[in-house]
Amino acid sequence: MGILPQLILESLLLGTFYAFMSLGFSLMWGVLNIINLAYGTYIILGAYTAYTLYTGLGVDPLLSIPFSFLLGLSFGVLLQRVLIDRVMRLEPFMVLILTFGLDVFLSNLLNLIFRADIRSIDVPYAERSFVIGPVIVTEVKVLVFFLSLLLTGAVYVLLQKTWTGRSIRAVALDREGAQIVGISPGKVFAVTSGLGTGIAFSSGNLYGVLQGFTPFDGGMLTVKAFLVSIVGGLGRVESALAGGLFLGFLEVFTAFYLGEGWKFFASLLVMFLFLLIRPRGLLGGKYYGEV
């Protein structure tokens, strides 16, 4: 026994957050067939939004989640309409370069405004924890866990039960088929991009509560979102959960047994191997995205 229950708990809590965090990336990839390299910086933008609201107006970062979501939603729709729609018609890898440029632009803009110092949102309940049997539970991690679960559930309901969600899934399945039954892919792309960016921004609030951040942490977060998406398969909530938990376990266990330094390497290696051997992911159906 010993440390094992603690590690498993940490992995579960972290993994569920990763699942929610990556949901937007996975959706955009699955539905629009674009890999958004600026995604991690969207999360960081959300974290800075929560930070500014907290230090400026005293709004609790967990309460400002809806605001971050709406901000991300508008930002995502705007970017899709102004930038990405135009480039999507070209080779798919052009979107990679475009979003990389966007990432460089946004992270340097943040650096200009906030400087490169590590910021953290020091909520009063950040340090509280309690003990259950063999494990120590940090309150804030549990809070983030439940919120992630709740929000992931909300996205699931949106995708499964509403007409917006159904049309998103229809376009992901078969773009032309969706057009035949009267769905406009252009609109669905804008909605998906908005939803995805909204998810990224609002997960930034949670990320900011969990740990400190700098303007240049986006790249690493993009890799995490990518790994979650590729392991689970694209565009589905169940897949993101599977991928998120996988990443949670991978990170916690590598960090504990091999050292913190190997954590990122482990993620990248697994990502490389998955792409090489099974680019569809563990649960990926044959129609989500194309290989």
Partner 1 sequence: MGKYERLIFFLLLAMGLLPPLLTDYWERVLTLSLMLSSLSLAQNILLGYTGYPAFGCVAFFGIGGYTTALLMKDLGLPFWVSLPIGGVVSALFALLIAPPLMRLKSHYFAITTLALQLALGELVANLEFTGGAQGINLPIYVGPGGYLIFFYLFLLLTIFAFLLNVYVERSTFGYALKAIREDETAAETMGVNTVLFKSVSFSMMALITGLSGGVYAYWITYIDPTSMFDPLLSVKIFVALLLGGVGTVAGPLLGAFTLEFLSEVLWGRFPKVHGVVLGLLIVLIVLIIPRGIWRR
Environment class of residue 172 by beta-carbon count within 10 Å: exposed (0-12), middle (13-18) or buried (19+)? buried
Hey, which residues between 198 and 227 contact partner 1 (CB under 8 A)?
A: 219, 223, 226
- DSSP assignment letter at 160: H
Minimum distance from residue 81 beta carbon to partner 1 (Å) = 13
Minimum distance from residue 66 beta carbon to partner 1 (Å) = 29
98 counts as binding partner 1 under rule CB under 8 A: yes
> Which amino acid is located at 256 in the chain?
F
Backbone dihedral angles phi then psi of residue 178, each to the nearest 5 degrees: -65, -40
Minimum distance from residue 233 beta carbon to partner 1 (Å) = 14
Q: Which residue reads 């191997």 in tokens?
A: 273
Secondary element (H or E) of residue 131: strand 129-132
Q: Could you give the 3-state DSSP secondary structure of residue 253?
A: helix
Contact between residue 25 and residue 262 where contact means Cβ atoms under 8 Å apart: no
b/e 183-197 (16+ beta carbons within 10 angstroms → b): bebeebbbbbbbbbb
Query: From the centroid of its chain, how far is CA 257?
Result: 26
> Which amino acid is located at 185 in the chain?
P
108 counts as binding partner 1 under rule CB under 8 A: yes
Minimum distance from residue 274 beta carbon to partner 1 (Å) = 9
Minimum distance from residue 190 beta carbon to partner 1 (Å) = 18
Residue span binding partner 1 (CB under 8 A) among the ranges 58-66, 89-97, 156-164, 184-192: 89-97
181 counts as binding partner 1 under rule CB under 8 A: no
Instruction: Count other C-beta atoms under 10 Å from residue 56's C-beta.
Output: 8
35 counts as binding partner 1 under rule CB under 8 A: yes
Nearer to partner 1, 7 or 83 (CB): 83
Interface size with partner 1, residues (CB under 8 A): 41
Minimum distance from residue 52 beta carbon to partner 1 (Å) = 19
Nearer to partner 1, 66 or 92 (CB): 92
Which residues in this chain contact partner 1 in the complex, by CB under 8 A? 34-35, 83, 86-87, 90-98, 100-109, 111-112, 219, 223, 226, 261-262, 264-265, 268-269, 271-272, 275-276, 279, 291
